[in-house]
Structure 1
């Protein structure tokens, strides 16, 4: 079911973090849309003409596909952020593929509209720069994780990342999709998930993976999930509940300080 812009503004945490004056700069130009699961938003080489803000449980995965057809996820974006020309002037060719992992509502903004708003407002520009810093941190951590950590830790990290964004213990994700995102064969992943299942951390059913013991899953994961979370908290003001749910972005933390520097001296 489609939603209006007014209904969706508070359902994306990056938009919620905007100051009222900044929100007024872009709200008239936001377009509500529904993203279908599996839809490719852009592929390598495509011009990126819009910024998309996932709302509620909508999740988009960015991935790189090699010449031999193998694919690996580089970043996951949900209601905490945006996909597209966040930093650039827009219309530049995409480097990765962005595909809808969990379908649902979203808001779209033409790239030129965001650039005009950035030129008009320092605080809006500062917020999107901070978000870009956090997204870059996620990408850099993903590179290190893929190179250094075993598949069980990476699978646990990936499940925690999705759990953060959905506010639900039941993750509507198949083993095929998870295997593709992790860049491994499904048969190999099945053995990894069976081990997590036998240790009581998850329950695997057809087309679903349910989180049963999040604290244990956090212990089984590598440090990458926690490092990215802390960076979002410190740079963007994101707030996580004890169960891992990402619930808010603090507008005060998201606003530009008087000296224009990020809080705590943080940078990617």
Structure 2
């Protein structure tokens, strides 16, 4: 029997949608861990060992299109979780996942999480509803990568990162952003330079500061707002 404990204040929205008893079970059966910048959490087509519920920081979902070139298809922060595809009864990761911004998370063994999914239909339903949101995000990113300029995509990615880190100061190198967007580093340098000239961001040695949220939103494409609206509408399903 799991020992009782005083529940911490957890700002993971997905967990917060759970009924009190389920929320308590997850808190007591998760281990607090640090998410380290650049850390690989999952490899595509390899077994998922742990699921993660970010509290701070965020995780990127990457797919390789050619050797040594990848696109970031999704971003996970405290609105969701990494490993939700276990609800589809597939034990392997669909994409590579790396920590884009350092932070904290609650981690659970995949086997224990699977057992809870099997024994509690309500938890499975919640996770499947969240997966619907993720699928929309992936589809939106795929369309965005094909249709919009690097400047717009960079602005969108910075907005998504800020939403999940809740900070105006982001730890993002040009090299990492190039990997996220699937473009050459020089393309990111040009796009970031434009945003800096407009007074929207400042950049110094791998640190990006967002100076104007409104300016970043104006520079982004509609894909950012479409994803936000989708999440807000779908989150009503959780309640």
Residues in 2 aligned to 1:108 and 1:85: alpha-carbon distance in whole angstroms? 13
User: Counterpart of 2:238?
Assistant: 254
Residues in 2 aligned to 1:214 and 1:27: alpha-carbon distance in whole angstroms? 34
| Post-superposition CA distance 1:139-193 (Å, at most 9, x none) | 0101111111111110110010011112211111111111111111111211111
> Which structure 2 residue ranges, 5 or more long, are not aligned?
none
Taking a change above 3 Å as real, the CA distance of residues 222 and 125 of structure 1, as seen in their structure-2 partners, is: same
Paired residues of 1:26 and 1:114 also in contact (CA < 8 A): no
Alignment map for 1:99-118 (pairs within 5 Å): 99-118=98-117
| Post-superposition CA distance 1:203-243 (Å, at most 9, x none) | 11111111111112111111111111111111114xxxxxx
Find the residue that maps to 2:89 and give its secondary structure. Answer: coil
> Which structure 1 residue ranges, 5 or more long, are not aligned?
238-252, 256-268
Alignment map for 1:10-29 (pairs within 5 Å): 10-29=10-29
Residues in 2 aligned to 1:98 and 1:159: alpha-carbon distance in whole angstroms? 18
Residues in 1 aligned to 2:197 and 2:31: alpha-carbon distance in whole angstroms? 45
Residues in 2 aligned to 1:95 and 1:121: alpha-carbon distance in whole angstroms? 24
Aligned-residue offset at 1:5: 8.9
Work out the number of aligned pairs and report it: 234
Matched, 1:6 2:20: no
Residues in 2 aligned to 1:221 and 1:213: alpha-carbon distance in whole angstroms? 12
Q: Normalization by structure 1: what TM-score?
A: 0.81
After the TM superposition, list the runs of 4 or more consecutive aligned residues in structure 1 that deviate by more than 4 angstroms: none
Residues in 1 aligned to 2:6 and 2:75: alpha-carbon distance in whole angstroms? 23
Residues in 2 aligned to 1:180 and 1:224: alpha-carbon distance in whole angstroms? 19
Residues in 2 aligned to 1:40 and 1:119: alpha-carbon distance in whole angstroms? 28
